[in-house]
Amino acid sequence: MSNQEPQIITNKQEMRNWSRNIRSQGKTIGFVPTMGYLHQGHLSLIKQAQKHTQHIVVSIYVNPGQFSQTEDLSTYPSDILGDIEKLKSFGGVDVVFSPRNLYDYGESEKGVVKNSEKDGKIVSFLEGEGVKHETWIRVETLEKGMCGMSRPVFFRGVATIVAKLFNIVEPDVAIFGKKDYQQWRVIQRMVRDLDFGVKVIGSELMRDEDGLAMSSRNVHLSPQEREQALSISRSLFEAKLAAKNGKSICSELRRSVIESIEAAGGKIDYVEIVDQESLESVEQIKSGVVICVAAWFGKVRLIDNIEIDVS
């Protein structure tokens, strides 16, 4: 693990050359893909990667492909200069990979998004390579439910860009946060199905002291909305306790979570209780389930989950 300041790489071939040089020395590479605006949750992913590999690459790339036409890419929080400073202070990161372009959308609505670096805020990195890209990766079953219902292009965009990042960085291990539970499982399945030589590890969800799941989007919550949003984690912990105490009917637990969040002023996108691996809905609490929530507070969509393992 290096103690030097991270090298900043923006070119895809330069990144690939760096990785191949490291691997030629018999050393291993850990990879933490991010969309920037780093917080303690992201840093916990880096710590996890350091346990498994000798060198660490962190990518910062705001991926237009996972935003629908109704979602405003330009409002996604970004501070790449601040992110780099955080990584310098944190230490142990060898490379920050911040590519300029990973997918050319041609003349589509995303193709007109331009690169913006004013005041350190980078919204998108579309430079165009002359020929529109048209290949997408779908993980057909796992992407359908939960976030896939309200964000139908999200996992297509995630899987495709993560596959490209894996092909460029060529890591041995990649770390994904369990806060994005469905995303983590989608990437695991993609890696298995397409025989990527990458071990995908899920890192435990990180919470602020008040219980709110750490997210770059939390910055958009007003003080009142943040206080209301605590109903998500509170209801999840209450449901887990109820399950541990023998309450096993999922519909009842689900209803209690929904009522708690709505009573606090939240608007439910979904509350689902599913198997941790297949993400299929379950009717009775068993070992290896997870309660997943997405809810709106004001204009901010928050996701959270809690795993339940009962004997």
Which residues are part of the catalytic machinery? 42
Contact indicator for 171, 198 with CB cutoff of 8 Å:
yes
User: Quick check: 245 and 227 in contact, CB under 8 A?
Assistant: no
- DSSP result, 267-293: EEEEEEEEETTT--B-SB--SSEEEEE
CA end-to-end span of the chain: 39
CA distances from 197 to 17, 174, 233, 257 (A): 17, 10, 35, 39
DSSP state of 216: G
* 3-state class (DSSP) for residue 130: coil
Q: Give strand pairing partners of 56.
A: 30
Element at 162 (helix H, strand E):
helix 154-169
Q: Please report how many Cα atoms fall inside a 13 Å half-sphere around the Cα of residue 227, on the Cβ side.
A: 3
